[in-house]
Structure 1
Amino acid sequence: MDTLQRRSIVVIAHNLRSVHNVGSLLRTGEVFAIDSVHVTGFTPYPAHPGDERDPKLRDRQTRQMAKAAAGAERTMPFERHPDVFALLDALGHKGYTVAGLEIDPEAVTLTGYTPPSKVALLLGDEVSGITPELRERCDVLLRIPTYGRKEALNVSVAAGIALHSLREGGASG
């Protein structure tokens, strides 16, 4: 089994607002064979056994998410967590490096980063990104180099770029 197959990647989607972004993230995660998506805060998520949300809300969110997920809402493993900080601690104890994807002066360029064997990619909300408190809890902050006038991408697009880089990173060296 090669490095691409051995690297364990999980995504933490914290306070994402858009069901379409979550659907796209599930589909992208499936494409890059990540282990799971962890949803925290007010991030919407697909229906699951034992789901205690209002049935109308649950069904509406799942239906909307399915449009972008193209079936991945049924196949991509996900877990809902009430406390993002407890999740970060648990992943750290399991040996994951928590990598926040953020535009930040302290961030390492994604293209120059060689990921370890276990990576948890933290994504923040579409408006303000990862909070300062969560940035402090990351082992590393990563940024996507940009070349145009805009420096921010849609969160699901940014996640796709990051997941590709994390899956491929260090594979040849």
Structure 2
Amino acid sequence: MVYSAVTIGLQNPKSATNVASILRAAGCFGVSSVFYTGQRFGYAKEFNADTKSFHRVIPTIGVERLDTVIPQGAVVVGVELVEGAIPLPEFTHPDNAYYLFGPEDGSLAPDLVRRCDAVVYIPTFNSLNLAATANILLYDRLAKGQYDRSDAFIRQSRDNNNGLRLD
């Protein structure tokens, strides 16, 4: 089964670099849109880590509240180090997911956590930054689903400077 719809919501992200890294991951893992709240990202919107310019392809939209833009039919999944959350290795990703991430220097707002259908966390020995968290979650989603394992897909996905083959 190929996952059909992935949307990301970022609550008041602090770092434009982290958001740009999330946009790169979004392009690599098939995210359809990214919503964000707050002004901190808007003031620093440089996209300096979005080297593939995914911000031009993936809508990145500032909104007042993340819970007002839940995609139709989406399961809302909070990603947060919170007691009682599901460890990511044990989580089954929904086909249509709206993943909510808190700010780098805080947590998801309690009202957003209550709105979630599930809350997951990544077991680590310390907290991850926002971009690393999003990358791991999106990779986990892909790894647990079906994906193209062909050499043609590898050729399509890699950088132009990489022509390696295992013979």
- Looking at structure 2, the residues matched to 168 and 35 of structure 1 have their Cα atoms a distance apart, in angstroms, of 18
- Write the letter of the residue equivalent to 1:44: F
Q: How many residues align?
A: 146
Any idea what SS the aligned residue of 1:127 has?
coil
- Write the letter of the residue equivalent to 1:24: S
| Mapping of residues 137-148 of structure 1, within 5 Å | 137-146=115-124, 148=125
The answer to whether the Cα contact below 8 Å between 1:99 and 1:139 also exists between their aligned partners in 2 is yes
Q: Does 1:159 align with 2:140?
A: no
User: In the TM superposition, what whole-angstrom CA distance separates every residue of 1:31-53 from its partner, at most 9, and x where no partner exists?
Assistant: 111111112233525xxxxxxxx
The residue number in structure 2 matching 1:75 is 57
Distance 1:116-1:154 versus aligned 2 partners, 3 A rule:
same
User: In the TM superposition, what whole-angstrom CA distance separates every residue of 1:140-169 from its partner, at most 9, and x where no partner exists?
Assistant: 0000112x3x2x000110110001112332
5, 12, 17: which one pairs with 1:15?
12
TM-score for the superposition, normalised by structure 1 = 0.77
Aligned residues: percent identity? 27
The answer to whether the Cα contact below 8 Å between 2:35 and 2:66 also exists between their aligned partners in 1 is no
- Looking at structure 1, the residues matched to 34 and 118 of structure 2 have their Cα atoms a distance apart, in angstroms, of 19
Any idea what SS the aligned residue of 2:73 has?
coil
Any idea what SS the aligned residue of 2:17 has?
helix
- Looking at structure 2, the residues matched to 108 and 167 of structure 1 have their Cα atoms a distance apart, in angstroms, of 18
The answer to whether the Cα contact below 8 Å between 2:10 and 2:100 also exists between their aligned partners in 1 is yes
- Write the letter of the residue equivalent to 1:17: K
- Looking at structure 2, the residues matched to 157 and 78 of structure 1 have their Cα atoms a distance apart, in angstroms, of 19
- Looking at structure 1, the residues matched to 146 and 54 of structure 2 have their Cα atoms a distance apart, in angstroms, of 26
The answer to whether the Cα contact below 8 Å between 1:17 and 1:44 also exists between their aligned partners in 2 is yes
| Structure 1 segments of 4+ aligned residues over 3 angstroms from their partners | none
Any idea what SS the aligned residue of 1:164 has?
helix
The answer to whether the Cα contact below 8 Å between 1:27 and 1:76 also exists between their aligned partners in 2 is no
Cα RMSD (Å) of the superposition? Answer: 1.8
- Looking at structure 1, the residues matched to 9 and 40 of structure 2 have their Cα atoms a distance apart, in angstroms, of 10
- Write the letter of the residue equivalent to 2:55: E
Shift of 1:170: 4.5
